C-alpha cells in the first residue's frame, strides 16, 4: 500500500519530528523522481520490484506532476513524496528527499535512482552492489534506447550503443546518468559536506547528474559505468524534443567543465571536447578539397576509385561505427553502413554543439524544462 508525504519547500523542518529508528546496515533505498512520465512509470516500478536484489524501500518523488502519476504509483508498495514550491526541478526534488533520508541511514546503505522513463535490467541492483563491493564509490548505468521514435529513434539507439562501447573499453564513467545510478550513503554525505549549501545536487547545474559526477570524482572517489548495469531509456520522438535535450546536455556539460576548470578530473574531458570541436572542421575541409579536386580534374578528381587510400580509410571508419552500433540491432548497423543517415545526424549534432558553445561563451541566460526550448 502506498504512503503519501508532502514536502513544503518554503517551510523549515525540525528533524526530530522525522525521528525514527535507523534502518539496519546494508539496506537499498530506491528513488524515482517523477514529473510528466505518464504511462511509463509503471514499467519502471515493475522493473524495480522485479530485481534479483529488490530494494528495501522505494520512494516515488512527484514534482509538479499530474495527479494520475501518484495514482499510477499507488498500485505499488512505495512511499510517494510530493514537493510544494520546488523551483529547482529534478535536482531540488532529489535534494529534498535526500535531506529527509540521509540523517537516518547507515553509511553502508546504498541509494539507487532511476528516471521514471527508464527500465533497469533485472540484475541492475545486484551488479551495482557487487561493483561497490569492489571499491567503487558510485556506479552509473550503461543506457540503451528503447524501441520507438521512428528513424530518429533508430539513430539515437545507434548513438547510445556506441557510447556504451566507449564506456566499456576501460572501467570508467563519463556521467552517472540519471537513467540509473547507485551511490552509498557515505559518499552522498561526503558530497553534501563538500558544498556550502550542504546539498547533494547542485540546483544551479543544467545537467545535475554530470555535475554530480564531477563532484564525486573531485573528492577522489572512483566511479564506473559497467556493462552489466543496463538500463533502457526513452528516445526523443520528435526533432524538436531531440534538439532541446541535446542542447541542454552539451550546454550543461560545457558550463560544468568551465566551473570546475582544468584539473586532474576534468583534463581528459576538456581535451575530448576540444577534439570534438576540432573534428567539426573535417566536413568543411573535405567539401573544400572535393571542390578543388573537381575544379582541377573534373569528375575524376572526386571519384573514390581514383583515391583508394581515402576510400579504404572511410570504409574502415564506417565499418567500425557499424560494429559499435550492433547492440542496437541490425537496422542500426544497416543505417550506419548507408553512411548518409549517420552523416546527416552528425551534422545536426554539430549544429547543436556550435549553438551550445556560443551560449556557453556568451553565458546567455536560458530557461529549460520539460517541453520547453532552449
Q: How far apart are CA 82 and CA 7, in angstroms?
A: 6
DSSP string, 114-151: --TTEEE-TTHHHHHHHHHHTT-SEEE-EEEEPS-SHH
Per-residue pLDDT at 365: 59
**74 φ, ψ (degrees, to nearest 5):** -65, -15
SS (H, E, C) 194-260: CCCCCCCCCCCCCCHHHHHHHHHHHCCCCEECCCCCEEEECCCCCHHHHHHHHHHHHHHHHHHHHHH
Q: How far apart are CA 326 and CA 330, in angstroms?
A: 6
Backbone conformation region of residue 329, classed left if phi is above 0, alpha if psi is from -120 to 50, else beta: left
Per-residue pLDDT at 66: 66
Alpha helix stretches (DSSP H) within 62-115? 67-73, 89-101
Per-residue pLDDT at 39: 78
Torsion of CA 175, 27, 234, 322, to 10 degrees: 50
Is CATH 3.90.550.10 correct for 3-237? yes
**120 φ, ψ (degrees, to nearest 5):** -75, 150
Q: Can you give the pLDDT of all 374 residues of the chain as single tens digits?
A: 555 554 444 433 333 433 444 444 589 999 999 987 777 899 999 999 999 999 999 999 988 766 677 788 989 999 998 887 788 999 999 999 999 999 999 999 999 999 999 999 999 999 999 999 999 999 999 999 999 999 999 999 999 999 988 777 666 799 999 999 999 999 999 999 999 999 999 999 999 999 999 999 999 999 999 999 999 999 999 999 999 999 999 999 999 999 999 999 999 999 999 999 999 998 888 788 778 877 887 777 677 666 677 778 788 889 999 999 999 999 999 999 999 999 999 999 999 999 999 999 997 655 544 444 44
- Of 142, 166, 163, 144, give the one whose Cα is nearest residue 154: 144
Per-residue pLDDT at 21: 44
Q: Where in the chain are the domains?
A: 3-237, 272-362
| CB 102 within 8 Å of CB 189 | yes
Alpha helix stretches (DSSP H) within 236-329? 239-260, 267-279, 282-297, 308-324
What residue has cell string 546494508? 26
| CB 176 within 8 Å of CB 215 | no
For the record, the C-alpha cell of 176 comes out as 552517472
* Sequence-ordered list of residues with C-beta below 8 angstroms from that of 90, at least 6 positions apart, any chain: 33, 35, 63, 178, 208
> How much is the pTM?
0.88
* Whole-angstrom Cα Rg for the chain: 23
Q: How far apart are CA 335 and CA 318, in angstroms?
A: 11
How far is the CA of 102 from the CAs of 3, 16, 126, 273, 280, in angstroms? 19, 14, 22, 35, 45
Per-residue pLDDT at 28: 98
Amino acid at each position: 500500500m502506498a504512503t503519501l508525504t508532502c514536502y513544503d519547500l518554503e517551510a523549515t523542518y525540525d528533524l526530530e519530528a522525522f525521528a525514527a529508528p535507523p534502518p539496519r546496515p546494508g539496506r537499498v533505498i530506491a528513488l524515482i523522481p517523477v514529473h510528466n512520465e505518464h504511462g511509463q512509470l509503471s514499467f519502471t516500478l515493475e522493473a524495480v520490484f522485479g530485481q534479483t536484489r529488490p530494494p528495501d524501500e522505494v520512494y516515488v518523488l512527484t514534482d509538479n506532476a499530474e495527479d494520475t502519476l501518484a495514482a499510477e504509483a499507488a498500485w505499488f508498495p512505495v512511499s510517494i513524496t510530493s514537493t510544494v514550491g520546488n523551483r529547482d526541478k529534478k535536482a531540488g526534488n532529489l535534494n529534498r528527499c535526500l535531506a529527509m533520508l540521509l540523517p537516518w541511514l547507515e553509511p553502508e546503505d546504498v541509494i539507487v535512482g532511476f528516471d521514471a522513463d527508464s527500465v533497469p535490467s533485472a540484475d541492475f541492483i545486484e551488479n551495482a552492489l557487487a561493483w561497490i563491493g569492489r571499491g567503487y564509490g558510485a556506479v552509473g548505468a550503461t543506457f540503451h534506447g528503447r524501441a520507438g521514435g521512428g528513424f530518429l529513434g533508430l539513430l539515437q539507439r545507434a548513438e547510445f550503443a556506441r557510447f556504451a562501447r566507449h564506456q566499456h573499453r576501460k572501467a570508467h564513467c563519463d556521467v552517472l546518468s540519471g537513467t540509473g545510478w547507485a551511490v552509498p550513503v557515505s559518499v552522498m554525505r561526503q558530497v553534501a559536506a563538500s558544498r556550502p549549501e550542504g546539498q547533494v545536487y547542485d540546483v544551479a547545474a543544467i545537467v545535475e547528474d554530470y555535475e554530480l559526477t564531477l563532484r564525486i570524482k573531485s573528492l577522489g572517489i572512483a566511479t564506473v559505468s559497467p556493462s552489466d548495469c543496463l538500463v533502457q531509456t526513452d528516445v526523443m520522438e520528435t526533432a524538436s524534443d531531440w534538439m532541446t535535450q541535446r542542447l541542454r546536455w552539451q550546454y550543461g556539460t560545457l558550463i560544468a567543465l568551465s566551473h570546475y576548470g582544468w584539473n586532474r578530473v576534468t583534463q581528459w574531458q576538456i581535451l575530448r571536447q576540444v577534439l570534438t570541436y576540432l573534428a567539426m572542421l573535417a566536413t568543411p575541409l573535405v567539401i573544400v578539397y572535393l571542390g578543388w579536386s573537381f575544379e582541377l580534374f573534373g569528375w575524376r578528381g572526386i571519384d573514390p576509385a581514383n583515391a583508394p587510400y581515402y576510400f579504404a580509410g572511410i570504409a574502415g571508419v564506417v565499418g567500425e561505427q557499424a560494429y559499435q552500433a550492433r547492440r542496437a540491432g541490425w537496422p542500426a548497423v544497416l543505417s550506419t553502413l548507408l553512411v548518409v543517415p549517420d552523416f546527416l545526424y552528425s551534422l545536426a549534432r554539430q549544429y547543436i554543439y556550435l549553438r551550445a558553445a556560443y551560449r556557453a561563451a556568451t553565458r546567455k541566460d536560458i530557461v529549460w524544462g520539460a517541453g520547453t526550448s532552449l
